[in-house]
Structure formats: structure tokens, C-alpha cells
Amino acid sequence: KAGVTQTPRYLIKTRGQQVTLSCSPISGHRSVSWYQQTPGQGLQFLFEYFSETQRNKGNFPGRFSGRQFSNSRSEMNVSTLELGDSALYLCASSHPDRDTEAFFGQGTRLTVV
């Protein structure tokens, strides 16, 4: 069974640009969550999508947005990139009928220069 797949693995962007990251969950998982990991702030929850609807959101500015498609694949977008957005972005998927155990992808390493 394939795990959570995130693309791309590495990305370098310039301040002010926008970026889109992609996440394909484990087959059958309909919940997808996104997390930002930085050395200073640790792991912080961005948002969760379930059946194409955002049902939980962390404390991030509106520049961070996401969406989920009918096949449960999810994308997150960051507009007007700032240097502080440099981080490892992790996606996690979970099964709707089981515990809240989440399975993580390998992450996308975003560097803003």
C-alpha cells in the first residue's frame, strides 16, 4: 500500500512569489492535514481537509490556503512568500472511521530566498 506522497521534495522560491505544494493521501483516507515545521516554532498545524471541505484551521495568515479534490488529493498554496516561510511542510492523512492516527509524507522542503 503506497504511503502519503508529497511533491515536490525540494523547492526554492524568491520572496514575493507564490508556491503550490501537493499531497496524495493513502488510498481510502479522506482526511488530509498540513503542518509546518521550523527550527524555531517546531511543528505547527496549518489546516485539515475532509471530503473537500476545510474543517479545522490553525493560526496562520490568509496567505496560507489549501484545497482538497474529489479524489482526496490536497494542495496548499502560499502567496507573497516571506523569508520566514522557509520550512518543511508535512502532509498527513488519516482514515475517517478509525482513530486519529495520522500517517505523514516525507515533506516538501521550501526555501525562500
Partner 1 sequence: GNSVTQMEGPVTLSEEAFLTINCTYTATGYPSLFWYVQYPGEGLQLLLKATKADDKGSNKGFEATYRKETTSFHLEKGSVQVSDSAVYFCALSDRGGSSASKIIFGSGTRLSIRP
Cβ-based nearer residue to partner 1, 14 or 100: 100
For residue 31, state whether it binds partner 1 (rule: CB under 8 A).
Answer: yes
Q: Does 55 bind partner 1 (CB under 8 A)?
A: yes
List the interface residues with partner 1, window 56-75 (CB under 8 A). 56, 58
Smallest separation, CB 88 to partner 1 (Å): 8
Between β-strands 108-112 and 10-13, what pairing exists: parallel, antiparallel or unpaired? parallel
27 in Cβ contact with 46 (< 8 Å)? no
Q: What is the dihedral of CA 61, 63, 89, 99, to 10 degrees?
A: 60
Stretch that binds partner 1, among 15-23, 66-74, 76-84, 94-102 (CB under 8 A): 94-102
Q: Residue 13 or 95: which CB sits closer to partner 1?
A: 95
Q: Which is nearer to partner 1, 10 or 62 (CB)?
A: 10
Chain length of the chain: 113
Place of cell 494542495: 75
Q: How many CA atoms lie within 13 A of 108 on its CB side?
A: 26
In order, the DSSP letters of 10-24 are: EEEE-TT--EEEEEE
The site for partner 1 (CB under 8 A) is made up of: 4, 6, 31, 33, 35, 42-43, 45, 48, 50, 55-56, 58, 90, 92, 94, 99-107
